[in-house]
């Protein structure tokens, strides 16, 4: 089997720099309204960083913990055509909606508990309001064995269903949509590959196929305007750009002594700044929040995101 070192041997190397630190396990980066957004997972918050480097809490779900028997961990998020945000609450197996009136203004948009055997995960919101939610399919945090599970589709009325036409996936993780909305990509983490699916006008998915085989587990990902896929491969020491067929064109080293790259997103005014979430402790929620060693890194790349999502 090809090693990561072999896979990136001919790739263009790009340096990254840390721009902020002091977070638990950062994930699900987004660019919206001139701000960088991300989930600071084990503090139950979504945070923003502005151009001056100021960090603010934009969404605060800590109050839900008082009434919950499961951890409150916010995962993937995005914005509906109405401008309202939706966000996954991983262990509650809920999609919550945030109207922006205050950081704590959260209510249930969709209940996925009947469709999700394990924690739900990332999401992407299409321009027409369809929401695509990935799920781990098993309780990875308590040592369960990987098990396939489907992508969940939430229609613009808030009604959820499973994308049965493409079948169950082995830990679908990061997820993204092309600029024209015709294709959905996802990182099938425990199969070490990136898949692409066709998306119809009715929101349904079909014709899944392999876009790239990965030399290491793929996690959070994003697309660029030329059909490239940037993906973080936690534990490999790299965030890389694939083109169809599996060639790695670009590689960004992340020193493992600083943490592992968990996800990436093209942002900035021209969407050519690759933001990378770099985590330190993913399994011990309390330790991760208490020690707060994780950071956000950036690198400048040649091809911007265009209007791809997220």
Annotated binding residues: 173, 219
d(CA 170, CA 155): 23
Q: In the 8-state DSSP scheme, what is residue 259?
A: -
- Asked whether the CA dihedral 29, 222, 85, 262 is positive or negative, the reply is negative
Distance between terminal CA atoms of the chain?
32
- In the chain, alpha helices (H): 4-7, 285-291
- The answer to whether 219 is a known catalytic residue is yes
Q: In the 8-state DSSP scheme, what is residue 79?
A: E
Annotated binding site for a divalent metal cation: 173, 219
Reading the block at residue 130, the tokens are 């369809």
CA dihedral 187, 89, 130, 83 (to 10 degrees): -120
SS3 128: coil
d(CA 138, CA 142): 9
Round the CA-based radius of gyration of the chain to a whole number and report it.
18
Q: Nearest-5° angle of CA 272, CA 186, CA 80? A: 70
207 forms beta bridges with none
The string over 96-107, giving b where at least 16 C-beta atoms fall within 10 Å of a residue's C-beta and e elsewhere, is bbbeeeebeebe
Catalytic residue among 60, 122, 219, 250: 219
Q: In the 8-state DSSP scheme, what is residue 284?
A: -
d(CA 162, CA 185): 16
Q: Which residues are catalytic?
A: 219
């Amino acid at each position: 089997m090809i090693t990561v070192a072999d896979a990136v041997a001919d790739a263009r190397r790009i340096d990254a720099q840390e721009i902020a630190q002091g977070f638990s396990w950062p994930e699900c980066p987004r660019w919206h309204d001139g701000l960088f957004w991300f989930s600071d997972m084990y503090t139950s918050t979504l945070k923003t960083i502005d151009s001056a480097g100021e960090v603010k809490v934009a969404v605060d779900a800590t109050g839900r913990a008082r009434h919950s028997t499961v951890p409150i961990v916010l995962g993937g998020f995005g914005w509906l055509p109405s401008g309202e945000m939706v966000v996954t609450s991983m262990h509650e197996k809920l999609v919550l909606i945030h109207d922006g009136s205050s950081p704590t203004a959260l209510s249930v948009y969709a209940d996925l508990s009947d469709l999700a055997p394990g924690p739900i995960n990332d999401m992407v919101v299409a321009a027409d309001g369809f929401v695509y939610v990935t799920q781990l399919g098993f309780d990875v945090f308590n040592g369960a064995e990987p098990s396939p599970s489907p992508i969940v589709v939430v229609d613009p009325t808030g009604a959820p269903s499973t994308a049965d036409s493409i079948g169950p996936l082995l830990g679908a993780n990061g997820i993204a949509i092309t600029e024209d909305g015709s294709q959905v990509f996802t990182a099938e983490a425990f199969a070490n590959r990136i898949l692409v699916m066709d998306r119809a006008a009715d929101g349904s998915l079909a014709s899944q196929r392999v876009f790239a085989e990965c030399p290491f587990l793929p996690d959070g990902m994003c697309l660029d305007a030329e059909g490239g896929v940037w993906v973080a491969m936690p534990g490999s020491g790299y965030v890389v750009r694939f083109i169809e067929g599996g060639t790695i064109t670009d590689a960004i080293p992340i020193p493992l002594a600083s943490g592992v790259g968990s996800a990436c997103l093209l942002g900035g005014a021209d969407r050519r700044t690759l933001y990378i979430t770099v985590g330190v402790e993913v399994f011990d929620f309390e330790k991760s929040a208490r020690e707060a060693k994780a950071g956000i890194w950036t690198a400048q790349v040649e091809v911007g995101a265009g209007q791809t999502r997220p």
